Structure 1
Amino acid sequence: MTAAAASGSTGTTAFADLPVEVHCHGFGDVDFSDFGSLDLLRLDEACAREGVLSLPTLYLHRDRLAEFEAFVHRYEALRRDGLLPHIAGIALEGPLLASHGGTPAATVWVPTRHEWERLTSLGEHGLVYSVVSPDIFSPASELGDALRAEQLDFPWLIETMLGHGVRPALGHFTRADPERSAQQVTELVDLAWQAEWNGTGTRVVTDHLFNDMPLNIRHAFRTTAARRDREATIASYDLPSWTLENAARTVGPVPAAIMREAAAGRIAACINFDGEHVDLAIAARAVELMGPQNTMLMTDRCDSARLGGQELHQTGENGLWYQAGGIVAAGSQPLARQIANARSQQLGDADIWQLVAGTAHRTFGLEIADGSGPRAMVPSSRSHSSPA
């Protein structure tokens, strides 16, 4: 079953009704970050087979900025000619990350003002968002000293992004001072809503909630040993008692700040439903608190053992891809499988439609073809989409 079928779309549905893979790293044997050789036409065909729109998410080495500019302009030209109807935009993970996490360390760097203007100007040609850490200026940030040396500041960085229609995507936090990082989430969102916006849809999005941020909970159970304690641990969290008001205490200040801003409609938050990045029960409760109309299902998917120029491996304990040092680099489950996982948590058809289509179309300024809202959902959740 394709993701389109799993979400209730039909074979005659217009492109604007298709589910959206908001944040994905590779289909088939294609590493999106190898954009010098990325065949966009082939990628569009893969998306068509799976019945999805995609926002391929790339890593960028500093010495490849000019090559990336040429790639985005090539994307724009093909899109203008109507040849890439399934690729809704291009996204970046980095380079302004306080903690590189599963991102290749060489793709975390501080642009000069001129480089940042070159990079963000691509928003007028197809770049829709770039992951930025709200706490990049904190003492624990990997980039703090370099940022200060370049005399960069958040008001200028965010104004420049939004002025070209590039959304900041919040993610990759440090863990040294959760209260400060949470405050910086709110400050960044405030800046975004005060700045001039040369785009459509929502101004701020996120990387996936609960990953690469300080937490008060165990958010995932990725090994056989961890899964033995999973039921008791989840019961101890008393998920039904979680509220936006007590979230800073229960889950931690940073995810609490993100969930509050999402529930207020000021950001569109991404969350993963592979059951491996985040436990499914925790993910479902977060969706309830934020509202599915403010949340997007994000796969973080890579189909091959290579990403951003680095070799990946799997452990046999789960379907995640790991880089050297046992750090999670990406997931492997396609959208249709994650839709089935969301159904397993008793999320209704209308809510799932928002997670995989409605919120993303509004967020990125895509039009829903008939404007009528949720489509009927196919009841079966047994089938999965095969990798392209």
Structure 2
Amino acid sequence: MSTSSKPAPIQDLEEVGVSVWLDDLSRERLRSGNLVELVETKGIVGVTTNPSIFQAALAQGDAYDEQLRELAASGTDVDDAVFALTTDDVREACDVFRPIYEATDGVDGRVSIEVDPRAARDTARTVELAQALSDTVDRPQVFIKIPATQEGLSAITDTLGAGISVNVTLIFSLERYRAVMNAYLEGLEKALAAGEDISTIHSVASFFVSRVDSEIDARLEKIGTDEALALRGKAGVANARLAYQAYEEVFSTPRWERLEAEGGRKQRPLWASTGVKNPDYSDTLYVVDLAAPNTVNTMPEKTLDAVLDHGEVRGDQVSGTYEEAQQVLDRLAELGVDYTEVTDQLEREGVEKFEASWAELLDGVRTELDKAGTK
């Protein structure tokens, strides 16, 4: 699909340098042709998944029934069944996006799959699972998602060092984001030392947005002053804009320039959690206000449709906004909102949410395997 045939808001975002990815995947989307249709009519150029998305997909409809019967008949255990179901979906989605992957030299056409979130605090297990996912999907455009926990940083470096492309997820704080970028550079350096062609290694860093506003807004409402209430809905965008400032700094250092000269690719910032939680805010807030060069915005379909319907892209809204963004965080600190406490809490809750979704997914597949085995 050519850029000129894409809907105007998507084309406007692309002209700024934004890649639009869908934050959803299901076998129903694949089987019905819906994913192909979204590529052709709505201009998406990639897909992200997570345990919550897979849990929702398997809980609905009958698209997985046939494979579940086959897995039950072969005596597959529940963990292996989930692995087979999810990697099959991702492999098929990769095939849908292969033309985009080839046309963009591997920048887009990407599909992400996350390691079992129960391994989020286990470096060695995460690396092992990342390798297994990469080998099983067996498509060059797959991104392996690794959470940006403290333990995940070494796993990110080791996975990249093995030549596997990584989507680093669950980033909330600027400090952790800088550590993620450092892990990426270390991974490229490790791959280079091992003789890998680092031009084939790609990465995005998924910086979460709306959850920051949800948590900080709740704290501001508890404070309740006019000054506090006036800051609602500002922290998420400000935090992300300062992340972009950090990205610009890191990817202009001599260390990076040495890697770039060897074929290294910049790790693009990806704005995640871009569905607006508060109905008082514009439903395109985290798309329009975070448009910036060399970024990805991964959207739930509801947000994508809002952008297509009434999104007004105003060009780059991030570069040069850093002083204003820092003032927002400074004012929050003056009001007693502890940034580190908020971001630590959000990371902890993010891992817990994915673990809970994974447990639901395992329970659901176990039930379906039992049912299929009795038929």
- Could you tell me the TM-score, scaled by structure 1's length? 0.47
The structure whose Rg is larger is 2
Name whichever structure is richer in helix by fraction.
2
- Could you tell me the TM-score, scaled by structure 2's length? 0.48
